[in-house]
């Protein structure tokens, strides 16, 4: 599984963690930066005062065997743009250097890690590699408190690097009470946010209903609502227009000003800015992306729109069919994609064709933007399809991304209107070679679907059909 796959999955899992925390009525309060007077043990002359002042790392007493305990609290991490992660790594090593000659224990409080303060998985990998045997040898236990699906993603990243011996040191605890058997709990410095979260979890476990949220109850969507509503709702509110306004606006802007931007759709943006733009759209107010000076912002808005649809664009019904794409012979996969799309509702098909046509256009500029069909699939796969219950498993990523890659790479064939072929199976390669590029300005659509504005890339290139089996 590629690094972009895991990065995108990690981002989605963290957002789900935030949603679950919100459902428990737990709001993450803004961090208050301690002043020197608040912590008498911390001096402004500390060599890592810029990192230490957040209280992310604490030395907190001993465990039952007399080993020093060091805690790492994710809820104390500020947003990534406010924290130098290289300095954080140096601070970790500086702190551990004082204890690694003797046995020690680490307690990792996972609650509070979110999409705003998460370091990249690449940074986590390089950090792990920097901790040599001297650090790992005397680490006797790593307690992970309140693990989530994000930890599964981390395990996938680190599994090739972690020895079996070290892996046995990692112990997961769902509740703080489980720590009491191993540590002198009274000596631990547990952030109040973690205590509140643990209490909510324990109440749920006992079957108690958590305290009602302080947010107002759900209301009917605004007439101008754009995010979190169905395609049908958007069509009804926009004079029957099939392509949702947010999708059309972002695609138009990116086509004009972002096609050659390196890392398009790969970069993140300020959560505050994204929420502000969503609010403007939902209130029916105009949005001028030029005002924000960052072409990655409309790219994030587009992905956010897809992710917040009540049902995935590819529909829940198609989920299992899409997962089966890897079992199809490589030379027939484009045919299978074409067949699966025929079962989509016509509205979903129209929107998907519009989007894939644009992404195909983006992929043709990959020499500049570094976003070929494979890279785009890593970004968009999880935003186009997900199961009706629970989260997508790690094993589901491969077929989901492969399916998305096929839609982008072989756009003209998958969305072809030449139904007379009787499918794209035997002889399709030869037909594809003879047919040449899709006619300029023609929109691939199914029979009976009302015409709409062209979604096909201008001057689309001829594409082969057969995929290598190695994919």
Q: Is the model's pLDDT at 212 over the cut of 60?
A: no
- Of 405, 411, 403, the C-alpha closest to 457 is 411
**End position of a domain, from candidates 415, 437, 464:** 415
What pTM does this model have? 0.55
- Do 293 and 175 have their domain in common? no
- CB atoms near residue 462 (< 10 Å): 12
Rounded distance, CA 182 to CA 259, Å? 55
Sequential DSSP letters for 216-280: PPP-PPPTT--SSS-HHHHHHHTTT-SS-HHHHHHHHHHHHHTTT-TTTTTS---HHHHHHHHHH
Give the dihedral of Cα atoms 36, 37, 38, 43; nearest 10 deg: 30
Domains contained in the chain, number: 2
- Residue 250 resides in a domain: yes
- Do 199 and 264 have their domain in common? no
| pLDDT score recorded for residue 158 | 66
- Do 254 and 185 have their domain in common? no
- Do 255 and 142 have their domain in common? no
| pLDDT score recorded for residue 453 | 38
**End position of a domain, from candidates 373, 399, 415:** 415
- Do 376 and 253 have their domain in common? yes
The CATH number of the domain holding residue 255 is 1.10.555.10
Rounded distance, CA 63 to CA 219, Å? 50
Domain interval for residue 196: 3-29+48-205
% of residues, the chain, pLDDT over 90: 37
Q: pLDDT for 334-383, tens place per residue?
A: 999 999 999 999 999 999 999 999 999 999 999 999 999 999 998 898 88
- Residue 225 resides in a domain: no
Q: Is the model's pLDDT at 41 over the cut of 60?
A: no
- Residue 420 resides in a domain: no
Rounded distance, CA 306 to CA 230, Å? 10
- Do 349 and 241 have their domain in common? yes
- Residue 115 resides in a domain: yes
Burial class (CB in 10 A: 0-12, 13-18, 19+), 415: buried
- Do 99 and 146 have their domain in common? yes
Report CA-CA distances (Å) from 66 to 60, 63, 102: 12, 5, 11
The CATH number of the domain holding residue 144 is 3.40.525.10
What the block records as the tokens of 280 is: 């403007």
Rounded distance, CA 121 to CA 3, Å? 8
With tokens 């290598």, the residue in question is 468
- Do 237 and 326 have their domain in common? yes
- Of 319, 330, 331, 334, the C-alpha closest to 471 is 330
With tokens 């999880």, the residue in question is 382
- Residue 155 resides in a domain: yes
Rounded distance, CA 312 to CA 385, Å? 5
| pLDDT score recorded for residue 280 | 93
**End position of a domain, from candidates 392, 415, 438:** 415
Residues whose CB is less than 8 angstroms from the CB of residue 70 and which lie 6 or more positions away in sequence, other chains included: 57, 58, 59, 60, 95, 96, 99, 104, 105, 106, 107
The 3-state secondary structure of 141-191 reads: EEEEECCCHHHHHHHHHHCCCCCHHHHCCEEEECCHHHHHHCECHHHCCCC
Across 388-401, average pLDDT: 75
- Do 200 and 329 have their domain in common? no
Across 62-86, average pLDDT: 84
- Do 190 and 242 have their domain in common? no
- Residue 172 resides in a domain: yes
- Do 372 and 261 have their domain in common? yes
Across 265-276, average pLDDT: 82
Q: In residues, how long is the chain?
A: 471
- Do 72 and 154 have their domain in common? yes
Phi, psi of 145 (to 5 degrees): -100, 135
Contact 70, 32 (CB under 8 A): no
Q: Is the model's pLDDT at 432 over the cut of 50?
A: no
| pLDDT score recorded for residue 344 | 95
Confidence of residue 407 (pLDDT cuts 50, 70, 90): very high
Tell me the pLDDT of the chain averaged across its residues.
78
Sequential DSSP letters for 52-80: HTT--EEEEEEBTTS-EEEEEEGGGPPPG
Relative to beta strand 104-109, strand 68-73 is parallel
- Residue 216 resides in a domain: no
| pLDDT score recorded for residue 421 | 35
The number of C-alpha atoms within 13 Å of 219 and in the hemisphere containing its C-beta is 6
- Residue 311 resides in a domain: yes
């Amino acid at each position: 599984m590629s690094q972009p796959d895991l990065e995108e999955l990690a981002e989605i899992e963290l957002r789900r963690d935030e949603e679950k925390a919100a459902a428990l009525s737990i709001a993450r309060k803004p961090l208050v930066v301690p002043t020197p007077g608040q912590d008498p043990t911390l001096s402004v002359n500390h060599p890592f005062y810029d990192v230490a002042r957040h209280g992310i790392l604490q030395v907190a007493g001993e465990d039952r065997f007399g080993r020093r305990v060091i805690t790492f609290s994710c809820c104390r991490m500020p947003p990534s743009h406010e924290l130098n992660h290289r300095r954080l790594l140096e601070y970790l090593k500086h702190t551990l250097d004082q204890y690694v000659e003797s046995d020690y224990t680490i307690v990792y409080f996972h609650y509070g890690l979110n999409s705003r303060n998460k370091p990249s998985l690449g940074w986590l990998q390089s950090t792990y590699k920097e901790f040599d045997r001297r650090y790992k040898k005397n680490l006797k236990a790593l307690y992970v408190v309140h693990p989530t699906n994000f930890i599964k993603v981390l395990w996938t990243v680190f599994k090739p690097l972690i020895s079996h011996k070290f892996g046995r040191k990692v112990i997961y605890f769902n509740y703080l009470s489980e720590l009491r058997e191993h540590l002198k709990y009274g000596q631990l410095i547990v952030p109040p946010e973690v205590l509140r979260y643990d209490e909510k979890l324990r109440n749920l476990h006992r079957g108690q209903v958590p305290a009602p949220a302080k947010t107002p109850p759900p209301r009917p969507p605004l007439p101008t609502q754009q995010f979190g509503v169905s395609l049908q709702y958007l069509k009804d509110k926009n004079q029957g227009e099939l392509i949702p306004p947010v999708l059309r606006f972002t695609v138009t802007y990116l086509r004009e000003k972002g096609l050659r931007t390196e890392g398009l759709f790969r970069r993140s943006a300020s959560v505050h800015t994204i929420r502000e733009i969503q609010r403007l759209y939902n209130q029916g107010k105009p949005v001028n992306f030029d005002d924000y000076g960052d072409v990655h912002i409309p790219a994030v808005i587009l992905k956010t729109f897809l992710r917040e649809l009540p049902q995935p664009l590819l529909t829940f019904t198609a989920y299992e069919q899409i997962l089966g794409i890897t079992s199809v012979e490589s030379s027939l996969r484009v045919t299978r994609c074409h067949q699966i799309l025929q079962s989509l509702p016509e509205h979903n098909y129209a929107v998907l064709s519009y989007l894939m046509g644009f992404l195909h256009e983006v992929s043709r500029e990959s020499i500049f933007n570094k976003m070929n069909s494979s890279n785009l699939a890593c970004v968009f796969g999880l935003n186009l399809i997900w199961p009706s219950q629970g989260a997508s498993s790690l094993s589901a990523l491969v077929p989901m991304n492969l399916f998305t890659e096929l839609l982008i790479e072989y756009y003209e064939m998958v969305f072809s209107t030449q139904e007379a072929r009787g499918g794209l199976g035997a002889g399709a390669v030869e037909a594809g070679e003879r047919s040449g590029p899709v006619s300029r300005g023609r929109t691939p659509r199914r029979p009976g679907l009302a015409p709409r504005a062209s979604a096909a890339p201008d001057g689309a290139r001829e594409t082969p059909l057969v995929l290598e089996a190695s994919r």
